[in-house]
Homo-oligomer: A and B are copies of this chain.
């Protein structure tokens, strides 16, 4: 689906494991807030629709944290996951493209809670520049390279139309961005050392249609 996907074999962890780690983290944080001190792999798996065996395999990657008959200490597991995922620190991000998607992203409170801080919003449209969107002033894309050093952002979110995406990605990369989350329905070419996660919304819907299609075709009622 993305460059990162095709590279998965070269990482120690698969993209799927990383996705599950995020889910574990979110669920464990909820358990911790509710005062749960320990959790078993089977309860964690049950809550997230992941097999017990898979949970134990994933968590073994974090070290020997589980104790037979007791389970995993919730808080230690949270800390180990955050450390492993690199979210025990703050990440600054910029958003390019001040449309509805950017508004939805900036409004979503979950990001701040996970340590993601949106520090700037850029757009190339003169009508949008200067507007305030969710507390951020829209800055001209042309000023991106100039503004970036002071912003200290490492991540860039691309919420621009497909035909503008590669150009903006090149500008973000030139400005020192280390990773791009791409919502534009296009394949980006990035230099080595710059990470990419692509979220193509049409692909997600297509995959859903495929799963429904497969269920109908095979009479599979899972």
For residue A19, CB closer than 8 A to chain B, the reply is yes
* Total contacting residues, chain A, CB less than 8 A: 81
For residue A54, CB closer than 8 A to chain B, the reply is yes
Docked Cα-Cα span, A21 to B207, in Å, equals: 9
* Cross-chain contact of A201 among B91, B108, B210 (Cβ < 8 A): B108
* Cross-chain contact of A205 among B25, B84, B155, B216 (Cβ < 8 A): B155
Contact with B along A179-222 (1 / 0, CB 8 A): 11100010101001101110111111111111111111100011
B193 adjacent to A221 (CB under 8 Å): yes
For residue A85, CB closer than 8 A to chain B, the reply is yes
Residues on A facing B (Cβ under 8 Å)? 1, 3-8, 10-11, 15-16, 18-23, 25-27, 47-51, 54, 84-87, 91, 93, 99-101, 103-105, 107-108, 110-111, 114, 116, 154-155, 157, 162, 178-181, 185, 187, 189, 192-193, 195-197, 199-217, 221-222
